[in-house]
Amino acid sequence: MSAGAGGPCATAPGPGELVAVAPGIHWTQIPIPGMLRTVNAWLFEDDDGWTVLDCGSDTPAGRAAWDALLAGPLGGERFARIIVSHAHHDHIGLAGPLARRLGVAVWTSGAEWQAALRRRQESTAGHDGVLAYYRSLGCTEADARGYIETRATGTRNMTDLPEDCILLGEGEEIRLAGRPWRVMTGGGHSPEHVVLHCMADGILVTGDQLLPRITPFIGVDPSDPFADPLGSYFAALDRFAAIDDGTLVLPGHGMPFEGPASRAAETRLHHERRLAAIEAEISRPRTGYDVARVLFPRAMGGAHERLAISETVAHLNHAVVTGRLTRETGADGVHRYATA
Ligand SMILES: [Zn+2]
């Protein structure tokens, strides 16, 4: 492990490379479509085989990265399992093809597995419910159809799912890289995101639940329009806040870092500020679409606009659940939010 100004590991692995971050724990990056460019995959080395945690999107570049790893630093190794932190395409997309290739099972939580199956069905299902959802936020029909199209783009990189899955649950203990790890699950970014904590050695594998520099996307899904994912996420952040700040965090994107409690506090502050900005904005009843345009003026258009609206509604719903705002549904079926 190399110490440096950039944190506990100063240099990220190049394509097809492994970097050791702790004894028996290795890091690689798989290219993914979109702004984040890469997802981190973590590899745990044990006598009965290696464990892969997170796989990348099912794209030619993602497949080529695994080809290079399996022909290079992982050539001839045995594998024990694949663990998927959550069911977004950049983490689960290649889990099916890779599991078949390595001859191993895929492990994740029950709600993540269900979410992956639902997402795969979406490509063939009708979109009436999703259209109605976006109209209830004050979006035009044309905009709503655009959002549905951008969502389908992500789903295309995760259609080849494994046949079945071994389920991991909150509080379970597993051994990886010769150490005991406690499974922590939490909502917010996804329904039952899997995080692994090795208290003995002070290592936390967070997937997208806790990230350096950026905050994970917290959004409302059209299938559950009044959900409060931000409330679930605050509960997950409270648990990170209780973990020793000397702990090494291995995140789903970006560089490893130390200090889960400090990062959890910064992340919470980001959302508290956004809640305050929303309340300041709602001097008269506004739709979710109106508020998103004010909060994310540069994000309006395509996939960014869909994510901006989804994240705005997460904050609006949390403000309603906690009594800070009210939500009224008009005769036009559109929800309008106002200060309580
Ligand atoms: Zn991710």
In this predicted structure, the answer to whether residue 91 has a pLDDT above a threshold of 90 is yes
| Mean pLDDT score, 141-166 | 82
Distance CA 47, CA 339 (A): 59
Q: 1 pLDDT exceeds 60?
A: no
d(CA 55, CA 67): 12
* Rounded-to-integer distance, Cα 52 and Cα 93, Å: 13
C-alpha 40 to ligand 1 mean position (Å)? 9
Helix axes 302-321, 260-281, angle to 10 degrees: 90
Domains annotated for the chain, with CATH where assigned, are 19-339 (3.60.15.10)
User: Ligand 1 centre from 212 Cα, in Å?
Assistant: 12
Q: What type of residue is 85?
A: S
- 15 Cα to the center of ligand 1, angstroms: 18
pTM of the model as a whole: 0.93
Structure confidence at residue 7 (pLDDT):
64
Q: What is the mean pLDDT of residues 6-21?
A: 85
Contacts of 190 (CB under 8 A, 6+ apart): 86, 87, 88, 112, 115, 208
Average pLDDT taken over every residue of the chain = 92
> How remote is the CA of residue 2 from the centroid of ligand 1, in Å?
25
Give me the pLDDT at residue 241, please.
Answer: 98
Q: Which of the four pLDDT bands, split at 50, 70 and 90, describes residue 124?
A: low
> What is the C-alpha separation between 141 and 38, in angstroms, rounded?
33
Residue ranges with CB less than 5 Å from ion ligand 1? 90, 208, 252
Quote the ligand 1 centre to 322 CA distance (angstroms): 28
Say if residue 6's pLDDT is above 60.
Answer: no
Which two three-digit tokens encode residue 332? Answer: 């036009």
Provide the token pair at 143.
């905009």
Contacts of 178 (CB under 8 A, 6+ apart): 23, 24, 46
Interval 31-52: pLDDT, tens: 999 889 999 999 999 999 999 9
What span, in angstroms and rounded, lies between the C-alpha atoms of 105 and 113? 13
- For residue 299, what pLDDT band results from cuts at 50, 70 and 90? low
User: From the CA of 278, how far away is ligand 1's center (Å)?
Assistant: 26
The whole-number average pLDDT for the span 8-36 is 92
- Expressed in angstroms and rounded, the spacing between residue 24 Cα and the centre of ligand 1 is 23
pLDDT at res. 20: 96
CA 216 / ligand 1 centre spacing (Å): 8
Res 176: pLDDT: 98
Quote the percentage of the chain above a pLDDT of 70. 95
Ligand 1 center–CA 166 separation, angstroms = 21
Query: Percent of the chain scored above 90 by pLDDT?
Result: 76
Ligand 1 centroid distance, CA of 162 (Å): 19
Report how far ligand 1's centroid is from the alpha carbon of 101 (Å).
23
Mean pLDDT of the region 119-144: 83
Distance (angstroms) between ligand 1 centre and the Cα of 38 equals 9
**Distance of CA 253 from the midpoint of ligand 1 (Å):** 6
Q: How far is the CA of 88 from the centre of ligand 1 (A)?
A: 7
| 3: confidence class by pLDDT, cuts 50, 70, 90 | very low
- More confident position, 129 or 55: 55
